Structure 1
Amino acid sequence: MIYDCAIIGGGPAGLNAALVLGRARRTVALFDNDRPRNKVTHASHGFLTQDGVTPAEFRRIAYQEVLRYPSVEHYPVSIVNVRRLENGFELTTESGERFQSRKLLITSGLKEVYPAIPGLKELYGRSLFHCPYCDGWELRDQPLIVLSEHPKVFHLAKLVHQWSRDLVVCTNGAAVLTEEQKGVLASRKIIVSEQTVAAFHGSDGKLRQVEFTDGTRLDRTGGFITPAWQPQTDFREQLGYEATELGGIRTDETGRSSVPGLFAAGEASTGAPSQLILSAAAGSLAAVTINVELMEEAFA
């Protein structure tokens, strides 16, 4: 069987695309290895009617809705190889099974790479986060830390200041703030530390203290960090698509890439983290474009 569209990635972009294509009576193969980036997060926010939903519950509801459409098939496997065919694509799973499709939509998103700080893993998703829009409300008015080795720490600090005035900015040993920026932060009574963090201390997912390499400790109950981002999947060598500066698949506003028949949506196209609602919208738009392409080809 040759599917109308194969979708790699079962996050909000991929699931919403599958929903739109299923309702358009397109045959869809949805490949999802159940490794969502937000799996450790206690709740997702900013999605109207679903504010506060857990990632697991979001996926459960989404699959329940998507798989009501008989032309959509779900395969809980990883795709390890993709190659272009004359009129489509061939996808190979980790077990060697092969699938063919006329169109391909990649929505596999990103994975996070964090500083190797003891205690961080146990606290991430519970009291340490990366997105203030997603979790700032829950940490409002608490003593917080913003940790980043990236120059964008200045922007992040100003943003987090909207939710808490008790704020310490830490660059983890990196000299990424200018003297002018330090002055701006100091004028708002935001403390800046360029020390290296030795460990995060807490229990039951709740941060209590930040320990620095000089032995000093700072009481904090939560905060925001900036991880490095990497694509969950990288088929650039096999497919030859143009990439963004951040490593995403370069697309136009509809999700169409430089490779005929190849589309990308959500974090897979931007190479940067995205809110759930924005990824879902991008998946919907890409699905509509894919359906129109298939329609025009059928009438050619």
Structure 2
Amino acid sequence: MILDCAIIGGGPAGLSAALVLGRAGRKVILFDNDQPRNAVTQKSHGFITRDGVTPREFRNLAHQDISKYPSVQIKKCKIVEVKREKGSIFKLITHEGKPYLSKKMIIAMGLKESLPNVNGIRDYYGKSIFSCPYCDGWELREQPLVLISENNNAFHMAKMVYQWSKDLVVCTNGNKIISETEEQVLKRKGIIIKEKPILKLSGSDGKLEKVVFEDGTEINRSGGFVTTDLEQPNDLAKSLGCEVNKNGRVIVDVLGRSNVEGVYAAGDVSVVGPSQLVIAAAQGTCAAMGVNSDLTMEEFK
């Protein structure tokens, strides 16, 4: 059987795409290796009617919705290789070596993130330290917060976090990443900048209490944010010849089309919009519409 579309990635983008294509009666398989980037997240926010839903609950509800459409399958496996066969058909190989053929494919596998190099940060990430103020700022509002950053997004993120808490300390972990001009802007707002290397984070049960520096000094904080570095989780997009921007995200049009005919991208892996659950879901819908529209036009040629 040749699929109409293969979807790589079972997050909100891939799930939304599967739903839309299922409602169009397209033969689809969604490949999900069940390793979402938001696995550490306890609750997801900002998605209307689903504010506060857990990632697992969201996926379960999505699977229930998709199960109503018999032309869509969800397979828990990893795609390790994609080749273009004769004409415009793609051959996808799973980690078990099983091949699948598809006319179109949507890359929706998200991105891989790297946290700042701070001892113990994983113990607090997703519990009292987060990467997105739109997702978790409300829960930390008006608390004494820390922003830990080792990259050039520190200045922008500090200004954003300030909306939720005016008691903010920016820690760069020994890196000089904030210019003198930027420093003056932040200081005028009462934002403290500490460039000293961080020895460790201190607290219990995922609840941050202190940031301890290598010189022995420490500051009391009850939570905070980090800036992360994001990259493609594998080289599938690159191997297909997809054009990416300087941050490694696949460049697409409004309907998720990449520069490679038959290849679409949606969610964090693409360049359209910030990393948000609701935005990724919307992008999956757009990519599915792109796939269905293109398949339909090809049928009328």
TM-score normalized by structure 2? 0.97
Amino acid at match of 2:53: V
Change (3 A) 1:75 1:248: same
Give yes or no for contact 1:84–1:90 (8 Å, CA) kept in 2. Answer: yes
SS at match of 1:287: helix
Offset, 1:68: 1.4
Segment drifting more, 210-219 vs 129-138: 210-219
Residue of structure 2 equivalent to 1:114: 115
Structure 1 residue 68 corresponds to structure 2 residue 68: yes
Give yes or no for contact 1:246–1:271 (8 Å, CA) kept in 2. Answer: no
Residue of structure 2 equivalent to 1:45: 45
Give yes or no for contact 2:273–2:279 (8 Å, CA) kept in 1. Answer: no
Segment drifting more, 101-110 vs 268-277: 268-277
SS at match of 1:243: coil
Residue of structure 2 equivalent to 1:158: 159
CA distance in 2 between partners of 1:84 and 1:271 (Å): 26
Residue of structure 1 equivalent to 2:78: 78
Segment drifting more, 175-184 vs 99-108: 175-184
Offset, 1:271: 8.8
Offset, 1:233: 2.8
Matches within 5 A, 1:161-200: 161-200=162-201
What number of residue pairs does the alignment pair up? 300
Change (3 A) 1:271 1:81: farther
CA distance in 1 between partners of 2:27 and 2:241 (Å): 25
Amino acid at match of 2:194: S
**1:105-158: per-residue Cα shift (whole Å, max 9, x none)?**
000011111123221111100000000000000000111001111222111111
Segment drifting more, 262-271 vs 5-14: 262-271
CA distance in 2 between partners of 1:60 and 1:165 (Å): 38
CA distance in 2 between partners of 1:28 and 1:193 (Å): 51
SS at match of 2:37: coil
Offset, 1:236: 3.8
Offset, 1:57: 0.4
Amino acid at match of 1:216: T
Residue of structure 1 equivalent to 2:280: 279
Amino acid at match of 1:152: N
Amino acid at match of 1:78: K
SS at match of 2:26: coil
Matches within 5 A, 1:241-260: 241-260=242-261
SS at match of 1:292: helix
Matches within 5 A, 1:89-100: 89-100=90-101
TM-score normalized by structure 1? 0.97
SS at match of 1:224: strand
CA distance in 2 between partners of 1:270 and 1:21 (Å): 22
Structure 1 residue 57 corresponds to structure 2 residue 57: yes
Residue of structure 2 equivalent to 1:87: 88
Residue of structure 2 equivalent to 1:34: 34
SS at match of 2:47: coil
